[in-house]
Amino acid sequence: MRLLPSLFRVRVSHPPGGAAALRVRRCACSSPGRRVSKADVNAAYNIQKTFPDVLAEEVEDATRIDMHTAWHCVRKHMKRYDVMCKAWVITWPYIRVVRTATIKKGLSYLLIMLIKATHDDFRVVESPKITHERDDCLVFSVTKSGWDTTLLVKELAKRLMVSQKRIGYAGLKDTAARTTQWMSVKGVDPEQLENVRLPRVEITSIMQGDCISIGDLKGNRFEVVVRDIQWDASQIKHTLDASLERFSSYNGFINYFGHQRFGIQRPITADVGRHLVKKEYEQAALTFLAKQYPDDPHADIRRELWDSKDFKRAYEEFPHSLKYERAMLFQLGHKGSTYLESFKALPERLQTLFIHAYQAELFNEIVRRRVQEIPPNEVEIGDMIMIDKFERKATTFVNSSNMAKVRGLLRQTVSLAAPLIGSKTIFPRSRMGEIAREVLTEEGLSCPDFENHDHRPFSSTGSTREVVGRFSDLEYTIDEDEMFDAKKCIVTFFLPRGEYATELLRQLFGQDVLPFGVETQ
């Protein structure tokens, strides 16, 4: 069976207002030698039923389809539905199709701006902290495109024949982007590193240095192309300037965790974390393995697993691209492991990510409620603040004796902070603390629940995070979008570590700014 039919999955729906809207869904990645799954067969059937002529489209190489082929393949069948559809395909390693529908007769539609239409549209350059106290590692720069950081580390370890634990990095970088970051490796000769050849990976600037650990960076510099903006240039400029004025009054932007913290296509990370904190290991495992979302190309096989709990069968049916799910399924179906034990098949960093994502979800809700009542650039007695003038940020509380000084420093080195709730969280003695306790009570939890004696990676003592994110060197240019019949805006800026570019962009434009390929319902 040819792989071409699996590239497109379409659905025609009729929203309120009567006009038909085409939904072109992101589908499974196609790669040489990839086994055709049941999801592929279903996708082929669905499109053949809806648009019978599409399967007659001739494509020489099913792993690479250019924009014009995709546009022709989809658009020629749109006339009957009185809707214009713009389509784009990103080639290897992810083949995606997305739609933006312009509904005729003046009907309104949700304005969505797109990022990451190509990897070069989202560029990230890490600003590292490299030290030379021991010089017992090789430190090197890695520029990658289309690679998940953890998978790249695994492949590097394999090529260098060392444990993954010997490779250090300061933070995870986007997969659908062109990113440059620094890594370290211990016990390897420079010649070995120089001889590593991986697709879309460039290793440079090899030198001696200290091992790099999570958090060993100052921040990241971004250059982002925001596409498909359905405004004229004056409206874009007015919106961005108004947002920058608001940011100036707040001393920054609201420092929410971005959507990638929770997952985009399957936002289950925080849900898994919630179950793990509550020691609901069966629900946590089933959520990770089998919870379905509309835009997940593997929703059918997940649904079968959800209904049957047949882990042996699921292990055979899940594609090899879902390597983490397959690792857990093997433990459950073939090793007879408990639900808790099955999580141990995952990398420890991923295990801790579940808990951190849940903490991030709670943080976002606490901050959202607090800024609805009190502006983020105001503090009250009892609030927690973070002071950023030392190598490590210090935390203290606002009281009557330091209130005037704190207010004076809010534009400089002092920021209002909110708790990332854990087993040792100390709540602010202010409205912020009251909100945090309310949120935790609504979740049916208390701080000691974040301590897990069954499995250490599922424990967290908690931390704090600034409510306002600080950016610098923000500039933008507006131009015609060569990919869509719209405007594009190129935005450059620097963010300290831990702050999310997608969240800054969302607040900057005042609209949803989504990664390319994500479908809105």
Active site residues: 174
Angstrom distances, CA of residue 135 to CA of 25, 130, 184, 416: 49, 10, 11, 37
**Closest listed residue to residue 484, CA positions, set 118, 77, 236, 104:** 118
Q: How far apart are CA 505 and CA 234, in angstroms?
A: 18
Residue with tokens 């704190």: 406
The burial of 445, by beta-carbon neighbours within 10 Å (0-12 exposed, 13-18 middle, 19 or more buried), is given as middle
| Amino acid at site 142 | V
User: What separation in angstroms does the CA of 273 have from each of 345, 446, 498?
Assistant: 16, 15, 19
Three-class SS state of 463: strand
Sorted by sequence, the CB contacts under 8 Å of residue 225 that are 6+ apart come out as: 115, 117, 121, 122, 488, 489, 490
Chain-centre distance for alpha carbon 489: 21
Alpha helices in 268-347 (DSSP H): 269-277, 281-290, 299-308, 311-317, 323-333, 339-343
Q: What is the Cα Rg of the chain in Å?
A: 24
Identify which of 240, 219, 332 has the alpha carbon closest to the alpha carbon of residue 285.
332
- Cis, peptide link before residue 93, omega less than 30° from 0: yes
Q: Based on the number of CB atoms within 10 Å of its own CB, is 401 exposed (0-12), middle (13-18) or buried (19 or more)?
A: exposed
Give the number of other CB atoms < 10 A from CB of residue 484: 17
- Quick one: 230 exposed, middle or buried, by C-beta within 10 A (0-12, 13-18, 19+)? middle
- Per the listing, tokens 């409620």 go with 369
Q: Are strands 468-469 and 472-481 parallel, antiparallel or unpaired?
A: unpaired
3-state secondary structure of 167: strand
d(CA 427, CA 219): 28
Q: What count of Cα atoms within 13 Å lies in the side-chain half-sphere of residue 35? A: 9
